[in-house]
Chains A and B, each alone.
Chain A
Amino acid sequence: MVVLGALLILGIVLDRIGLLNPAEGGVFRVFEPVQSAFVGIGQGVSDLVQTARDLRDLRQRNQQLVELVNQLAVENVRLKEVEAENEILRRLLDFAQSSPGHTFKAAEVRTRVIGRQPDNISQFILIAAGSNDGIQAGMPVVTERGLVGRVETVYPTLSKVRLIIDTSSAVSALVQRTRATGVVKGQPGGELVLDYLPQGQDVVAVGDVVLTSGAGGGFPRQLVIGQVIEIRQKDYEMFQQAVLRPTVDFDRLEVVLIITNFVPLSLEGLEPAPGTAGP
């Protein structure tokens, strides 16, 4: 017990001074085969159970997916016409072709989801790609459906990704139809809310698609986040909110892509321009 207590204290100290990564990286080399085996078992059992459920819900789900695909197809055409110069979103949405505008780390084996947050109050995943694969902290993570999250911590062969449905996540976003901007925040239970939307009648409507705006430099522009399913508006409040259904199914993430040539904007170290008043 003394040894374990010492390990705990050592781990906390190393984490605080930023030296825990090498130790964790070494441990993960041992854990990874076990994790992969457990995930394989879990996915197999889950698939069996899910098949039984899907027999009951298959028709309804299929109809919803057909509608969503049609909607996304129409949106894709609009984006290609209106946003022709925007190489990022067009290539992310067109996964059948290669994408020279962004570099994706997209080998299936290397970016499998091999673990999830072991509690219910935060939303992280472990992916099987790390610094050995060129992954760096801050890189956005996506699927063909849309934005998943951002790389938070990197090890040699693994990375931890904070999902956008985490309550600490905030993504600058805009409503595709009206270009109204806001911030998408994760909520308890995996919900997404687009907050700080200006009040007004036609700012947002149910069915609107929400994309990243690129404001703040945290994520590339025009990555699909979700679709509005509910609007929360009160006349006495300064802003209105929209509840989103994420286009990504976070419960069934198996393979993700990492945008490796996007560098998040950092304001640290910037100084005021000469002649301007300081804070």
Chain B
Amino acid sequence: MSPWYYLLVPALILLGIAQSTLVPFLRIAGLYPDLILILVAIWSLLRGYREGTIWALVCGLVMDMLSGLPFGAHTLALLAVSLLMQAVRRQVYRLTFGAVLLLVALATLIYYGAVMFATWAMAGESFSGNLLGRVILPAALLNAAVAAVVFWPLRWFHQMTGEQEMGW
């Protein structure tokens, strides 16, 4: 594992805190981007199993600490997203930019589905109302739009710090 990684873990913790404190100020139409989800999804696509899983675990643990949902819900959901992205990465040699955005949107659906399932399984809590139409689908579009911006610096970071494993 690269030495820079030991600096990255504190940065991931700060990102997890920022998701709860700074990101809500970026509200658009009542929703704010799931920055952590976007980062985990893209990084899992870029770097694969080990690093994507670590990002999901570190950020997920921080989010669970700051969340009102049962502990572990966000971590498990991020792990599910990371695994999905890794599965795509293994099957596809080259992904287009548009495909990445589509995958981030799909990851949003998986993420919220996993959060709701984990919350129900661990605490018996269920969510009422038209969450899919009013929250999850709009959030998927918002996350895809934000991913269009976030992707390029992440890709640059990936190229600066790691081997070229994914064809772009």
Tell me the A residues contacting B by CB distance below 8 Å: 1, 4-5, 7-8, 11-12, 14-16, 20, 24, 27-28, 31, 34-35, 38-39, 41-43, 45-46, 114-122, 124, 126, 152-153, 160, 162, 167-168, 185-190, 251
Contact of B129 among A28, A118, A167 (CB under 8 A): A167
Assess the B34–A8 pair: CB atoms within 8 A. Answer: no
Task: Judge if B57 is at the interface, Cβ distance under 8 Å.
Answer: yes
Q: Mark B38-73, 1 if CB is under 8 A from A, else 0.
A: 000000000000100110011011011111111110
Interface of B is mostly: helix
From B132-140, B147-155, B159-167, the one touching the partner chain is: B132-140
Contact of B115 among A7, A8, A116, A121 (CB under 8 A): A121
The 3 closest A-B pairs by CB, nearest first: A124-B68, A15-B71, A38-B21
Task: Judge if B7 is at the interface, Cβ distance under 8 Å.
Answer: no
A124 to B70, CA, bound (A): 12
A38 to B22, CA, bound (A): 6
Task: Judge if B116 is at the interface, Cβ distance under 8 Å.
Answer: yes
Residues of A within 8 A of B139 (CB): 120
A38 to B67, CA, bound (A): 17
Residues of B within 8 A of A4 (CB): 54, 57-58, 61
Interface size on B, residues (CB 8 A): 51
Residues of A within 8 A of B86 (CB): none
From B11-19, B87-95, B96-104, the one touching the partner chain is: B11-19
Tell me the B residues contacting A by CB distance below 8 Å: 14, 16-25, 27, 30-32, 34, 36, 50, 53-54, 57-58, 60-61, 63-72, 74-75, 112, 115-116, 122, 125-131, 134-136, 139
A-B contact pairs, 9 of them (CB 8 A): A11-B71, A12-B72, A24-B65, A38-B22, A39-B22, A117-B68, A187-B128, A188-B131, A188-B135
B95 to chain A minimum Cβ distance, whole angstroms, is 25
B13 to chain A minimum Cβ distance, whole angstroms, is 9
Task: Please give me the residue from chain B that is nearest to A114 by CB atom.
Answer: B21
Contact of B68 among A11, A42, A152, A167 (CB under 8 A): A152
Q: Given contacts A11-B64, A38-B18, A120-B34, could you give 16 more A-B pairs where the C-beta distance is less than 8 Å? A: A7-B61, A8-B61, A15-B72, A34-B17, A38-B22, A39-B21, A42-B22, A116-B21, A118-B66, A119-B34, A121-B135, A122-B68, A152-B68, A168-B127, A189-B30, A189-B31
Residues of B within 8 A of A117 (CB): 20, 67-69
B9 to chain A minimum Cβ distance, whole angstroms, is 9
Contact of A118 among B36, B54, B72, B112 (CB under 8 A): B36
